[in-house]
Amino acid sequence: MRVWIVFLLCLAGHAMAAPTEEELIVEEPVTEEPVVEETEVGANPVQIEVGDFDEAIEVVEDEVAENPCLNHHCKKGKVCEVDDSNTPMCVCQDPSTCIAAEAEFEHVCGTDNKTYDTSCHFFATKCTLEGTKKGHKLHLDYIGPCKFIEPCMDNELNEFPLRMRDWLKNVLVTLYERDEDNNLLTEKQKLRVKKIYENEKRLQAGEHSLDLLAHDFEKNYNMYIFPVHWQFGQLDQHPVDGYLTHTELAPLRAPLIPMEHCTTRFFEQCDADSDNYIALEEWATCFGIKEQDVDKDLII
């Protein structure tokens, strides 16, 4: 339980510190491929910055006389080089040119259960495997060195949404409390959270037994509908289409796995039809939201 609180504080803290300036945003091209490149994870899951996801962009801006690579962006794992005719192009980065990790938390664990020194090393390695089956299957699994993750038992799996829902509600209330003119929430969102915030029956943030969490969900079900939708909207950004890809889910999933051993199983079973996307309906069902309460308009 404690980890959830610490995680919440981290997220909230990050959200406060998140710069609001608009980064140069270029839409990621829509790819038909179901498996999209991974983005670096570990960034604040609450406020995802669009700039973090610009990996698929290869844009040349106004010609810069000296260095054609100056404004040539490459996706993660690639660096810009010029060819003989001085044309910039993106090539795989040599992992040995990545800056070595200074701390253990910079390590990442791949789905191959190999520890990579940093996410730079991971993406550079993945790039060298591009086009191979192995490369296609390799994803960043979680933040931190690979470790033994206990199997998630059925009863533990059922506890996961109880805590996650409570946590989502508390994240929102915290954002609301601290949101003076930070614009962390839109006006519409603020109105929705205000109702939760001002509800006297709200279960206050803190350590609660699973029984109490389950009881509160039954009693105050309505308070949980918006937080569940809101988190989906935070993640569904690339593109905004009502579906979460593995990549879109990563900012939430990757930091959570080392702390909560049911994370992987939970999100796997969320994808009820196993098409590798978590649709809003699937997401809502996963968190116990009734079908008639799933509302696309709540996300905006």
Ligand X SMILES: *[C@@H]1O[C@H](CO)[C@@H](O)[C@H](O)[C@H]1NC(C)=O
Binding site for ligand X (CB under 6 A): 113, 146-148
**Least distance from ligand X to the Cβ atom of residue 156, Å:** 18
Query: 3-class secondary structure for 32-99?
Result: CCCCCCCCCCCCCCCCCCHHHHHHHCCCCCCCCCCCCCCCCCCCCCEEEEECCCCCEEEEECCHHHCC
Residue 201: count other Cβ atoms within 10 Å of its Cβ: 8
Region for 180 from its dihedrals, namely left if φ exceeds 0, alpha if ψ lies in -120 to 50, beta otherwise: alpha
> How many residues interact with Ca ion (rule CB under 5 A)?
7
Cβ distance to ligand X smaller for residue 148 or 297: 148
Identify residues 26-45 at the interface with Ca ion (CB under 5 A). Answer: none
User: Which of 23, 61, 268, 273 is in the footprint of Ca ion by CB under 5 A?
Assistant: 273
Whether cis (ω within 30° of 0) applies to the bond prior to 239 is yes
Q: Does 275 bind Ca ion (CB under 5 A)?
A: yes
Q: How far apart are CA 188 and CA 177, in angstroms?
A: 15
Near Ca ion by CB under 5 A: residue from 277, 281, 285, 288? 277
Quick one: what does residue 273 bind among Ca ion, ligand X, none, with the CB cut-off 5 to 8 Å set by partner type? Ca ion
111 vs 209, beta carbon nearer ligand X = 111
Residue 257 CB, shortest distance to ligand X, in Å, is 12
Q: Which does 277 bind (CB under 5 to 8 A by kind): ligand X, Ca ion, none?
A: Ca ion
The nearest distance, CB 146 to ligand X, in angstroms, is 4
